[in-house]
Structure 1
């Protein structure tokens, strides 16, 4: 395909990219806080862009590529919500400061771009890494060029968006149906739970992660609620309602078992990836930028110096509030900021290589976060020991907060490095100019960073976080879990306050080792049970994780049906499967975007109502018996699954 004379960066394309960036970043922030997952936005952004430009009678593959590049960078950057709310949970922030959050996200994101540019030639052009998401995005862009005016998937996205948006409006707006049911029962003193969540966004997430992760999540639910909680409730009987007893045991003990399992899974992932990681690091030190293709090295150096200076300034603003002497203050500023940058660089090389090898979605960002928070906590602790600072309650809180603040920089660098090379691979395949993509990646970081703090504040004021509610009388029912941030704050607090439940974590570590061994056995039979997914499912509320399993199961059943139909109708099986995969990916992305955007809109209405003196429930239809609310929620959920199935399997391709 000859793309030499095609325009790439245009005003319309940049503005469209900004608009889609706001939507997809908002959706990812919502999903990340709800269940600890984010979704890849490259393909849906490319489809959105192609559909928009065709409305005006033109479509340029390079212009569409620039749009998806900008959106994917910002969507990926939203994974910093895995760590930033931790500053809230440890009591250091009462809200999300815009400028601190913006500089963390934008500065860290731009560093992630800068750190991976020197390795583009080695890892993207010369090395034959698979880059699954990058190649898939290129195929969608190329398909859009070939298909002309034919459907490129916008209908699937709109269908999913409408369906999930309707679901969340009925459940959290009108409140005429529930968003899940939990049934607790006991056999003797052992308490069990059968959960069922009705979130269509999580159905979409399950569809995207696949059956291996889905089954692992289901196994974690079974382990937690059919083994661990029953055993612990029978060994330590408590007085009260069985639901309260079971949830207390789960929060105080079983979740820490999940922490141990997650820690082992993260360590194992790094051990398994050690050889390719070392290779990635060695190749990253081959600074092979080309002035004709990449941003020139002198501009990268100037950008690096400017961003580091900006980060030092924001660290100084953060540390100076602690009222230490100038020497201690600057020691904390320089050590924490420079350690964050150095660790971020090393991790960016790791992420870039692993994303190319196994894909951005499979790259263990959670594990990287755990390693980052431990290393930076030790750095901060080291400075405190050098100056013989007492570990008073106030000092401990500051040390914990500074460690988390520094880790957020590492997270921002890692998430962008995890995505950047995928986009550059897409660009290489469609004939894009690397330096133009690199500039747009930085712009995407800036636009995405400007959205994150306002959305975090809005969601907190509207829904709150589990255990941290902004107003009296609110319930945890609709509160956001922010599971990764809770985990990061628990690790940092454990290092400085020795508050970690080591006995439960030890049990979790043993179970994590068993999961790793089981997965190794299954991999020899071409099967998989990812240990990290099992641990996350033990750690997360089951009403949140169960829909992910059903989404993965629905995708598997639908895929088998499409294969059977194509064989029966003498169609090209491979083409039918690829078409189904693309349409399913777009519909699933639509489900996530639809629920997330409606959740944000409802959050805005709640905050506006409360600000005006109302109770926030401006759409609620009261007086419906709880039984019928549950029945309606279940019926809508099952009907939606049936609609998705028949839409993707029975509709003509």
Structure 2
């Protein structure tokens, strides 16, 4: 066995893992990180992995206790990161039910049960895959490996938590100044329309959280998202306005926003549909491998041919099968309550279980290949909703008012299962490297899912009442865009009732095909720069202000990497350690910025709802424009760059 394959804690050593304080801390962090990621995803259309921040917070808190150990830390981050992942599955789908007017709000019991069922199924579906994908195939699982390294270097916890806390405090202060005190505008944007023909626009959201997302995903993904924005805002909108002009004399910035909202964003719908289907086609081998591995694991468990090592002890397979059966019951009841037809509800439950297991396998495999942050959950969700919509269309007819909602309800469970599956495999990889007990991790994954599932309806209702979802309106000028949910709504409603600008959808599909061809050409050239179609599709349906802010963060990450190359330490071991230290420092500070901004955004929502006003804290009647915000965001970028390169230079 190679050294890197040996667990940090040997199988014959037993340390306390699922302690009372680990349960409590894991549940609290799960709910908190779920809330933060929900706000970020509804605002930005992207979510990030919370495993490393959760590990650092866990280390800092558990060090206050006399007795703690590395496996207990790992158990806490396992539960905490499950909450963050469940939030992604929820926000990509559930708000679509409100956007389409099917729900007036988020019914607590229904929302909790659907999220809970999807999350628990995601955990259960990954149990038979753990041994095959982690132990035998030895996939990379980048976030899992990084998390294990952070936990191993736990003696750095004090310094690491400093950067996380610093970022959280700064992110909270900036959000409070912009959204609470109304000192500056949230967005800098300018546009011109010459002779009602030539349109030019630039905008950037002055959010540290968005910049941090770009920093975390890196320049490659950030540039592809930005490319999608360029196609929509610098090519498609100018062409559309050149052909159609501005007959109503609308102000240029508002004109671009209205054109994008009513027509151009549907390029993203077409691209995402093709991207989701392409993900399935491209992963047919991976799907087969994952499914075969799961079936073999079930067979081996049933025959008793399984190791008794503590570090290879999974939840018994009979419990898994029983759990899947139990979870189907509340889902069927909810479907029946909404659709009111037993045969259709039964079919929906069957589709959900099949699609859930299929996409959980895909998500687990993809997490091992490219990481859970790059997992195509949006593509998985839209492929499920599109397929479900077509099946339900044949059964219910085009005039059905419940058909679109039924498709979203199926997609919501599948999205939650897939999101949880990818994250859980990362956590199990970290546990494998550390010498954790898989069964105990799987229990804590359930704890994280339960805590997040019962917190999410409250968070969604609060954010909806305070800010609103979807495109901004006169009543909700600061609405959260909820890009994925808006996309899901458009597809489901469009299949049943029409109303989609199909020309734009078809153009988006064609564009996605072109991107796929370019990516295959890059693959044939063995180029390191690949062009995943879903990354560009995300940029197509995000407002440009978000794309550009994410790009800014990607540029900072690139500059840090450039500094590391230009000042590379001669000793390879020292260089590797310094690079990891630099990456970890930047990641923690950026994660802090995201968490601080998100929690203040949620905190402000409470008084906004109570006072029915979003300017209850405003210092003046008018803001000072966007210039102060520009100065602040640029200063934060400089500071992020400096602490990251300083961490590379010094121990």
Fold similarity call, TM over 0.5: yes
Q: Secondary structure at the match of 1:182?
A: strand
Task: Please report how far the alpha carbon of residue 402 of structure 1 lies from its aligned counterpart in structure 2 after TM superposition.
Answer: 1.3
In structure 2, relative to structure 1, the CA distance for the partners of 1:642 and 1:149 (3 Å cut) is: closer
The correspondence for 1:198, drawn from 198, 206, 212, is 206
Q: Structure 2: how far apart are the matches of 1:598 and 1:555?
A: 25
Q: Structure 1: how far apart are the matches of 2:388 and 2:591?
A: 35
The correspondence for 1:439, drawn from 437, 443, 460, is 443
Q: Structure 1: how far apart are the matches of 2:586 and 2:215?
A: 8
The correspondence for 2:620, drawn from 622, 642, 652, is 622
The correspondence for 2:584, drawn from 569, 582, 585, is 582
The correspondence for 1:415, drawn from 389, 411, 419, is 419
- Residues 203, 548 of structure 1: 8 Å contact kept: yes
Match of 1:519 in 2: 519
Match of 2:457 in 1: 453
In structure 2, relative to structure 1, the CA distance for the partners of 1:113 and 1:569 (3 Å cut) is: closer
- Residues 27, 451 of structure 2: 8 Å contact kept: yes
- Residues 192, 229 of structure 1: 8 Å contact kept: no
Task: Please report how far the alpha carbon of residue 209 of structure 1 lies from its aligned counterpart in structure 2 after TM superposition.
Answer: 0.9
The correspondence for 1:97, drawn from 72, 96, 107, is 107
What does residue range 331-342 of structure 1 map to in structure 2 within 5 Å?
331-342=343-354
1:307 paired to 2:327? yes
Match of 1:30 in 2: 39
Q: Secondary structure at the match of 1:177?
A: coil
What does residue range 52-63 of structure 1 map to in structure 2 within 5 Å?
52-63=61-72
Match of 1:497 in 2: 497
Match of 1:81 in 2: 91
- Residues 185, 629 of structure 2: 8 Å contact kept: yes
The correspondence for 1:210, drawn from 208, 213, 218, is 218
Match of 2:481 in 1: 481
Match of 1:648 in 2: 644
The correspondence for 2:168, drawn from 161, 165, 189, is 161
The correspondence for 1:560, drawn from 541, 557, 562, is 562
- Residues 116, 453 of structure 2: 8 Å contact kept: yes
Match of 2:291 in 1: 281
Task: Please report how far the alpha carbon of residue 29 of structure 1 lies from its aligned counterpart in structure 2 after TM superposition.
Answer: 0.5
Q: Structure 1: how far apart are the matches of 2:455 and 2:102?
A: 22
Q: Secondary structure at the match of 2:625?
A: helix
Deviations 1:576-629 (A, max 9, x none): 11111111111111111111001001111211223xxxx3422111244x5x33
The correspondence for 2:181, drawn from 165, 174, 182, is 174
Q: Secondary structure at the match of 1:55?
A: coil
In structure 2, relative to structure 1, the CA distance for the partners of 1:569 and 1:355 (3 Å cut) is: closer
Deviations 1:536-582 (A, max 9, x none): 21211111121110001101102222443454999922221111111
- Residues 207, 548 of structure 1: 8 Å contact kept: yes
Task: Please report how far the alpha carbon of residue 152 of structure 1 lies from its aligned counterpart in structure 2 after TM superposition.
Answer: 5.0
Q: Structure 2: how far apart are the matches of 1:492 and 1:571?
A: 53
Deviations 1:425-484 (A, max 9, x none): 111111111111111111111111011110000001111123476xxx5342x2100000
Deviations 1:223-266 (A, max 9, x none): 22221111110111122122333222212221111222222233
Q: Structure 1: how far apart are the matches of 2:366 and 2:470?
A: 33
- Residues 215, 529 of structure 1: 8 Å contact kept: no
1:129 paired to 2:125? no
Q: Secondary structure at the match of 2:632?
A: helix
Q: Structure 1: how far apart are the matches of 2:384 and 2:135?
A: 30
- Residues 335, 379 of structure 1: 8 Å contact kept: no
The runs of 5 or more residues in structure 1 that have no matched partner are 321-328, 386-390
In structure 2, relative to structure 1, the CA distance for the partners of 1:303 and 1:291 (3 Å cut) is: farther
Q: Structure 1: how far apart are the matches of 2:498 and 2:156?
A: 62
Match of 1:325 in 2: none
In structure 2, relative to structure 1, the CA distance for the partners of 1:581 and 1:397 (3 Å cut) is: same
- Residues 287, 358 of structure 2: 8 Å contact kept: no
The correspondence for 2:575, drawn from 573, 576, 597, is 573
Task: Please report how far the alpha carbon of residue 516 of structure 1 lies from its aligned counterpart in structure 2 after TM superposition.
Answer: 2.1
Task: Please report how far the alpha carbon of residue 533 of structure 1 lies from its aligned counterpart in structure 2 after TM superposition.
Answer: 1.9
In structure 2, relative to structure 1, the CA distance for the partners of 1:186 and 1:569 (3 Å cut) is: farther
Q: Structure 2: how far apart are the matches of 1:519 and 1:66?
A: 39
In structure 2, relative to structure 1, the CA distance for the partners of 1:623 and 1:90 (3 Å cut) is: closer
Q: Structure 1: how far apart are the matches of 2:476 and 2:207?
A: 18
1:237 paired to 2:235? no
Q: Secondary structure at the match of 2:52?
A: helix
Q: Structure 2: how far apart are the matches of 1:46 and 1:150?
A: 9
Q: Structure 2: how far apart are the matches of 1:494 and 1:445?
A: 32
In structure 2, relative to structure 1, the CA distance for the partners of 1:2 and 1:362 (3 Å cut) is: closer
1:637 paired to 2:633? yes
Match of 2:5 in 1: none
- Residues 90, 397 of structure 1: 8 Å contact kept: no
In structure 2, relative to structure 1, the CA distance for the partners of 1:114 and 1:93 (3 Å cut) is: same
1:532 paired to 2:520? no
What does residue range 419-430 of structure 1 map to in structure 2 within 5 Å?
419-430=423-434
Q: Structure 2: how far apart are the matches of 1:579 and 1:313?
A: 50
Match of 2:3 in 1: none
Deviations 1:324-346 (A, max 9, x none): xxxxx111221111211121112
Q: Structure 2: how far apart are the matches of 1:24 and 1:306?
A: 27
Deviations 1:497-533 (A, max 9, x none): 1222221111112222222223334453322333222
Match of 1:316 in 2: 336
Structure 2 length-normalised TM? 0.92
- Residues 586, 643 of structure 2: 8 Å contact kept: no
* Number of aligned residues: 624
Match of 1:599 in 2: 601
Q: Structure 1: how far apart are the matches of 2:183 and 2:227?
A: 32
1:46 paired to 2:58? no
Match of 1:546 in 2: 548
In structure 2, relative to structure 1, the CA distance for the partners of 1:150 and 1:101 (3 Å cut) is: closer
Q: Secondary structure at the match of 1:629?
A: coil
- Residues 566, 576 of structure 1: 8 Å contact kept: no
